[in-house]
Amino acid sequence: MTSPAPEQAVPFGESDWGALRAAARDAMSRAYAPYSRFPVGVAARVDDGRTITGCNVENASYGLSLCAECGLVSTLQATGGGRLTHFTCVDGTGSILVPCGRCRQLLYEFGGPELLLETPDGRRTLDEMLPQSFGPQHLG
């Protein structure tokens, strides 16, 4: 699947951020977090206009647990790929969270430095949230 040219980018406004938060909260309600009791939901806009979601899925063998962002990028790939353009993450109360460093690295692969993240302190590019990042371009 190819990304639209910049002049064809799907518009994204304030109401879209609200819809993205609502989608993340809905995904959070499906999280499986019996051990930490810390459900997380995420939602992102794809460059073709789709909204995709993910939730955390824990496992009794803690190292096998999956962050919500892992589910999100799996959904992205399973539904045709594309580039993430806007992203939000919420906790069990629906409050906005910042992804952990590991998940920021995961998001970098699929959204790049210009991916816009909603944070408790406002919107930031992934480049601001993951300075001096490592990506596919470093592998040659």
Contact partners, residue 56, CB within 8 Å, separation at least 6: 31, 32, 33, 38, 39, 40, 65, 66, 67, 68, 71
* 9 marked as part of a ligand binding site: no
Rounded distance, CA 100 to CA 38, Å? 14
* 58 marked as part of a ligand binding site: yes
* 55 marked as part of a ligand binding site: no
Query: One-letter amino acid identity for 106?
Result: L
Query: For the chain, how are helix, strand and coil distributed in percent, rounded to 5?
Result: 35, 20, 40
* 44 marked as part of a ligand binding site: no
* 100 marked as part of a ligand binding site: yes
Catalytic residue among 7, 69, 109, 118: 69
Task: Confirm if 55 and 27 have CB atoms less than 8 A apart.
Answer: yes
* 29 marked as part of a ligand binding site: no
Our answer to whether residue 69 is catalytic in this structure is: yes
* 59 marked as part of a ligand binding site: yes
- The binding site for substrate consists of 56-62
Known catalytic residues are 69
- The binding site consists of 56-62, 67, 100, 103
- The binding site for Zn(2+) consists of 67, 100, 103
